[in-house]
Amino acid sequence: MKAVEFSRWYLAVFFLLVAGFYTTTILVKKRRAGRSPVIRGEPGSLHRRVHDTFSIFRALILIVCVARVPWPGLDAALLPITPLWTPLVILAGNGLMAISFALIVTIHSSMGPDWQSGIGPGGPQRLITDRWFGFSRNPTFLFIQAAQLGLFLSLPSAFTLICLVVGVAAIQIQVRLEERHLLERWGNAYREYQRRAPRWVRLPSYGGRCAGDCTRGD
Residue 216 has pLDDT above 50, yes or no: no
Mean pLDDT of the chain: 90
Residue 206 has pLDDT above 60, yes or no: no
Share of the chain above pLDDT 90, in %: 75
Q: What is the pLDDT of residues 128-140, one digit of tens each?
A: 898 899 999 999 9
| pLDDT at residue number 101 | 97
Q: Rounded to a whole number, what is the distance in angstroms from the first to the last CA of the chain?
A: 41
Residue 153 has pLDDT above 60, yes or no: yes
Residue 21 has pLDDT above 90, yes or no: yes
Q: pTM to 2 decimals?
A: 0.90
Q: Mean pLDDT check: name the lowest of 9-13, 83-87, 94-98, 113-117.
A: 113-117
Residues 6+ apart with CB under 8 A from 136: 142, 197, 198, 199, 200, 201
| pLDDT at residue number 36 | 87
Does domain 2-36+44-196 match CATH 1.10.287? no
Residue 102 has pLDDT above 90, yes or no: yes
Q: In angstroms, rounded to a whole number, what is the distance separating the alpha carbons of residues 50 and 174?
A: 7
CB 23 within 8 A of CB 101: no
Report domain extents, the chain. 2-36+44-196
